[in-house]
Amino acid sequence: MALLAEYSSRELLHAQLQLWHQSLGFFKSAALAIAMDLRIADAVHRLGGAATLPQILAEAGISPCRLRDLRRVMRALTVSGIFSFEQPADRRSHDSAVYKLTAASRLLVVGDESSTAAGQLPPFLSVKILLWPCLDSPVSKGMHAWFRQDKQQSGPTLAPFALAYSGQTIWERAEHHATVFPFNNAMASDTAFLMPIVLRECGEVFRGLTSLVDVAGGLGGAAATIAAAFPDLKCTVLDLPQVVAKAPSGANVQYVAGDMFESIPPTNAVFLKWILHDWGDEECVKILKNCKQAISLRDAGGKVIIIDMVVGSGPSDDIKHAETQVLFDLLIMNINGVERDEQEWRKIFFEAGFKDYKIIPVLGVRSIIELYP
């Protein structure tokens, strides 16, 4: 990381944004392919060219359980201009928003009788051929199969990633196929990149704390960085036994084997770096309730420090920033995770029993959130 010392935090975060935006381009294609497979444009067309998500869902014959997930796909397609979007007066009511056809989505309408009568081939066929590399990928096939699932069917439903990889979860693939899928190394690399920026830009969130538990902190990269910056702060990493067994010796942090869904050791504060986005709302509430039981009272400095995305938190005129957030959400949807906007975060915070929070959007597409009991 010494090679990056010549760059400011802003320059580094912008560079990361550029690389992520380019890398996530696949999911622009995936969103378009899902919309074509589910014939969303046809549904909106039959509804008069403008419709709410519940109306689109019913018209397209998609299971109601996929409402939130279709909203996420449509969010990506509206940011890129394939559909247009009319925000309701009450911004808390996601499902009253109206989606409209644009010239681009109008070309995707399959059941265009005027073209058929004139003997013309529909223009969407060329789009389908251009999407072929995406459509032929395991991830895309998994997402398509997942949208066709019905959560109401008997038995558990697999995440898109598992449908794509013979039932393996992302964690199982990371463990058994580390050479071709170096997921754990990628997370450690991100920690090494981000944590010096965190301490430089908002290190005050750790100041005054006496103890900190880094939940699901892996081999302790983040905790070690924090402990080096605040020598009087007792830092502990909580992770599963098989992870803690690989922890380095002689580190300036302690390691505790455990499960964040069961309990978290008593502490002044809890640190969650890029953890909650891996889980659905119900699991997040459970984790946060355990955090609340573990931390001190607010008057004693008790809080939860979260690093995650807050969708919509960036500059309103930065399309690349907005698009990267919503495309990352489609990526994380593959493991049944969620990138949340502030309203969605607020819902799980308050459901877990917390009273207040503060969002600090200084980490590019990610933010620091301070959550108070």
In a domain, 170, yes or no: no
Query: Which of 117, 140, 163 is the last residue in one of the domains?
Result: 140
- Other CB atoms within a 10 A radius of the CB of residue 277 amount to 20
Q: Could you tell me if 190 and 131 lie in one domain?
A: no
Q: Could you tell me if 231 and 355 lie in one domain?
A: yes
Q: Could you tell me if 363 and 231 lie in one domain?
A: yes
In a domain, 353, yes or no: yes
Dump pLDDT digits (tens) for 50-98.
999 999 999 999 989 899 999 999 999 999 999 999 887 766 666 788 9
Q: Could you tell me if 112 and 188 lie in one domain?
A: no
Cα torsion through 111, 116, 117, 121, rounded to 10: 160
Domain range for 333:
183-372
Tell me the whole-structure pTM to 2 decimals.
Answer: 0.91
Share of the chain above pLDDT 90, in %: 78
Q: Could you tell me if 50 and 189 lie in one domain?
A: no
Q: Could you tell me if 126 and 237 lie in one domain?
A: no
327 vs 5: which has the higher pLDDT: 327
**Is the pLDDT reported for residue 18 higher than 70?**
yes
Q: Could you tell me if 203 and 341 lie in one domain?
A: yes
In a domain, 145, yes or no: no
Q: Which of 45, 94, 277, 321 is catalytic?
A: 277
277 as an active site residue: the answer is yes
Cβ atoms 161, 169 nearer than 8 A: yes
Q: What is the mean pLDDT of the chain?
A: 91
Strands (E), 260-350: 269-273, 303-311, 340-341
Q: Could you tell me if 192 and 108 lie in one domain?
A: no
Q: Could you tell me if 132 and 209 lie in one domain?
A: no
CATH for 201: 3.40.50.150
Rounded Cα distance, 198 and 363, in Å: 7
235 vs 1: which has the higher pLDDT: 235
Overall domain count for the chain = 2
What pLDDT is stored for residue 154 in this prediction?
46
**Is the pLDDT reported for residue 297 higher than 70?**
yes
Query: Which of 84, 117, 140 is the last residue in one of the domains?
Result: 140
CATH for 112: 1.10.10.10
Dump pLDDT digits (tens) for 151-165.
555 455 789 999 999
Query: Which H or E element spans position 369?
Result: strand 366-372
Q: How confident is the model at residue 328 (pLDDT cuts 50, 70, 90)?
A: very high
Most confident residue range from 87-101, 130-144, 240-254, 359-373: 359-373
HSE, side-chain direction, 13 A CA sphere, residue 46: 14
What pLDDT is stored for residue 10 in this prediction?
93
Q: How confident is the model at residue 268 (pLDDT cuts 50, 70, 90)?
A: very high
In a domain, 227, yes or no: yes
What pLDDT is stored for residue 298 in this prediction?
94
